[in-house]
Structure 1
């Protein structure tokens, strides 16, 4: 209980810090202090001057009359018009009115505060290990994941409420079916090949849940069957894959556009491509024959033992997830600028087209790029936030350690053993029945259960992240959409 009180103190301190730092925002700093610049659309007078449209005073008066009635002046200009857009730095006053700005600031800042709480909790529990207390930092992590899921769901919902998004709506439906099929195929793979831990988690949950029901005097054959639980896992995985589809396509597009900045420079594109491929490396880390077997089992010639221990491999896997997310976050301003440059690229493509376009449509084509900046930022950051905090919960609730690469840690005591001990100790009359039921219920969710749930969640988020971005890059490579 003392440790739980210390965690409450940490939480209260962090809440007070959040209140005092309310005027400072890391999310706003990412958009407005990283030298991002936006493109300004040409005014009507500039378009008329470039297109040679005569400025008739009578029509101008009529136009002003129409504008006062809520009807802006409309005229046509050639699509091949040579327009060089002016730029302006992105300021807080510019972004505060953008769509989904509030959601963007909330999720980024809250994720940062959660990371601070998690680090403080990890430092404290490393000195004073938890016994039967619950790690309160997990509540913060769960909230971050839920908020990220809600935001991605809100973004995807736009495709189903808009009448102009028929293609996107069909893509979401197809993506759900494809990811559902892939998830069901993944869940039947043996743990000897893909160690997501679902099967050991179910075995542990089934055994302890059956004991819990027996202790409560309930007649039952046990919890739901493995097939039903795996089906629900597959449905959840399909939903995550669907929510990651358009963010993945967007990230791939920004990566493709970012490569244009460096020209003959070979080092920076190599770093960008390596960072883009890191999710694929993360996916392989859960494939036992490819990674764990070679690093922790196989003894190479000239060596007396494997390259690393099993604990060191688990720690390496977690560190690489965190490192990949941090690197992606560091590259976020460069990727967002590549998106903003789409305004000029749209005009460059339009120059090759014949015909004419209205001034309103041309200005909307340019202004819409900046208008959706926060939407694109959410598409970029929400998937990596989910991957990060799934991995953090996987580490903490799964009983792993950050120091496994430096020295061997003691084996985590199985929660099921504790459950049996508690049950035997309270057979006599000393503790009320309600407390007994609560303790037994808590012991149903063992370390193996957490490892299976969050191991699969972490791996699937990385896999969906990799698959959607890879499909987007393949689309850019073969179709060269500008």
Structure 2
């Protein structure tokens, strides 16, 4: 039996494509440089001197005694009025501008790798739709898991910056407080019965406990289960608190960009509707896991004039997965709008500064304007990483939980129709390999069979119920903190900032 088969072929082809295509095309670079984003340029010292009437200082030549050549002194710092009428110039963002930005490499790797992972996943799903998976490993799950790992790692790296800096006391306290709040919320949610919130953790624990006990007994070990239910729920709650802390500042940043985007598109009603729909989608996704107002209403209740519920359970699962994908795609489509709203902060801050009294140095003013563009990739990572985690957790929930995209179709699926053909194909292939195998081939086959038995033992422990519980709850929780953090940011923008 083939352990990898077509999955290995798909992965190897995609690795080759990545090596050949990466130097020439990058989705991450295209989003920043080819979607019409413009940045604001800070005024030069000469422009500031001319506007403020500060005379230009003559720089005295300075001779370097070591090298013998003459160097010019650095321009001195001077003060200008805050109310100075400064008109900022704009420029289109080019690839040469973003290359030197902080976290640009990490942002490019995450977005490009997620694109390749999605291609591998789509090809694998199409292949498995016609040829069901038997003894092969679904390597597309490894690609999805890597995307989740990279996104989590980058969010953790950005959050750790607040703990390493001595000036980020407020941000550090905010992360700790929100993490503890999310920990408390998770502990409360974990005791909610499955009749209300259908995350499937109870069935997952029951299935894992029973299969693990059988596995340990087969190995000659007496055990009633690997861990108690309380311990498992505690570690899940701690993980939820950590994820909530990582989502805090991305959510606050997203809320600020949404707030600014609405101000800049007052005349475009259709765009304003899309922005509000995009903001509300995480809340709608959270509701889809609340059983009384989603599954029971659509798959159990029979309305008057109808002989059956609106949806079948399979169709409901398909709609729920499709809703997650739609929410993520909508965020990606609106990404240039949100990023331009962030870049417009340079203009907004300059206009607000004109209403203030006092003076400011030329260096402080230039840093204030240029820092907006300097942190563009940091903001982009805060925008992209959470939605990628939600997307690929949902994809793993679908595949490992043995759900289907064809929930609306009735009758036999192509998987059922192809079972007999696959068994015949495997029988012919097995006979051919048996007739042509030599001693070395038998050794390889023996090793493969050993690995296969080990994988089958693991599959017996990690059943589809286990995956449905783990990834179902992970998907729902990521959508929940995605919505909660952005809602907290909108509350802050509404009540604690100037309109």
The two structures have a TM-score, normalised by structure 1, of 0.92
Deviation at 1:208, TM superposition (A): 0.6
| 8 Å CA contact 2:286, 2:480 repeated in 1 | yes
Where do 1:72-471 residues align within 5 Å?
72-407=75-410, 439-471=456-488
Q: Quick check: 1:63–1:72 contact (8 Å CA) kept in 2?
A: no
Q: Retained in 1: the 8 A contact 2:32–2:93?
A: yes
SS of 1:35 mapped into structure 2: coil
Q: Is the 8 A contact 2:3 2:137 kept in 1?
A: no
Query: Hey, what does 1:4 align to over in structure 2?
Result: 4
Q: Secondary structure at the match of 2:292?
A: coil
The answer on whether the counterparts of 1:3 and 1:128 sit within 8 Å (CA) in structure 2 is no
The answer (yes or no) to whether the contact 1:248–1:469 under 8 Å persists in 2 is yes
Q: Which residue of 1 aligns with 2:19?
A: 19
CA, structure 1 residues 369+70, in 2 after alignment: closer, same or farther (shift >3 Å)?
A: farther
What displacement does 1:271 show? 2.0
Distance in 2 between residues matched to 1:144 and 1:178, nearest whole Å: 27
Shift of 1:3: 7.5
* 1:191 CA displacement: 0.4
Output the aligned Cα RMSD.
2.3
User: How far does residue 455 in structure 1 lie from its aligned partner after superposition?
Assistant: 0.2
Separation in 2, partners of 1:12, 1:435: 21
Counterpart CA distance in 1 for 2:128 and 2:451 is 29
Q: Contact conserved, 2:318 with 2:406, CA < 8 A, in 1?
A: yes
Q: What's the counterpart of residue 418 of structure 1?
A: none
Distance in 1, matches of 2:264 and 2:62, equals 43
Query: Quick one: distance in 2 between partners of 1:206 and 1:155?
Result: 37
Q: How many angstroms does 1:474 deviate by? A: 1.3
Which residue in the other structure is 1:39 paired with?
40
- Contact conserved, 1:253 with 1:472, CA < 8 A, in 2? yes
Partners of 1:280 and 1:463 within 8 A in 2: yes
Q: Is the 8 A contact 1:38 1:88 kept in 2?
A: yes
Shift of 1:106: 0.1
Counterpart CA distance in 2 for 1:64 and 1:476 is: 51
Q: Secondary structure at the match of 1:357?
A: strand
In the TM superposition, what whole-angstrom CA distance separates every residue of 1:55-103 from its partner, at most 9, and x where no partner exists? 2xxx322599999688542000011111110000000000000000000
Q: Deviations over 1:236-274 (max 9, x none)?
A: 111111111100111111111111122244332122111
Counterparts of 1:103 and 1:342, CA distance in 2: 24
8 Å Cα contact 1:311/1:409 also seen in 2: no
Distance of 1:295 and 1:408 partners within structure 2? 20
Tell me whether 1:475 sits opposite 2:492 in the alignment.
yes
Report the count of equivalent residues: 462
- What is the distance in 2 between the residues matched to 1:369 and 1:63? 34
Partner of residue 61, structure 1 = 59
Q: Does 1:29 find its partner at 2:30?
A: yes
Provide the C-alpha distance between the structure 2 equivalents of 1:121 and 1:65, rounded to a whole number of angstroms.
68
Moved more, 64-73 or 261-270: 64-73
Moved more, 151-160 or 439-448: 439-448
Q: What's the CA shift for 1:127?
A: 0.7
Hey, what does 2:424 align to over in structure 1? none
> 1:219 deviation in Å?
2.0
Encode CA deviations 1:353-375: one digit per residue, 9 max, x unaligned.
11100000000000000000000
**Judging changes above 3 Å, is the alpha-carbon distance between structure 1 residues 408 and 360 closer, same or farther for their aligned structure 2 residues?**
farther
In 1, Cα distance between the equivalents of 2:493 and 2:198? 33
42-51 or 71-80, which deviates more? 71-80
After TM superposition, the score normalised by the length of structure 2 is 0.89
Q: What SS is found at the alignment partner of 2:5?
A: helix
Q: Which piece of structure 1 moves more, 321-330 or 266-275?
A: 266-275
Q: Distance in 2 between matches of 1:221 and 1:292?
A: 34
Residue pair 2:60, 2:72 contacting (<8 A) in 1 also: no
Deviation digits for residues 285-338 of structure 1 (CA, Å, limit 9, x no counterpart)? 000001111100000111111000000000000000001101100110111000
Query: Does structure 2 retain, via aligned residues, the 8 Å contact 1:32–1:92?
Result: yes
Structure 2 partner of 1:49: 50
| 1:411-448 CA distance string (max 9 Å, x none) | x99xxxxxxxxxxxxxxxx9999975653333100000
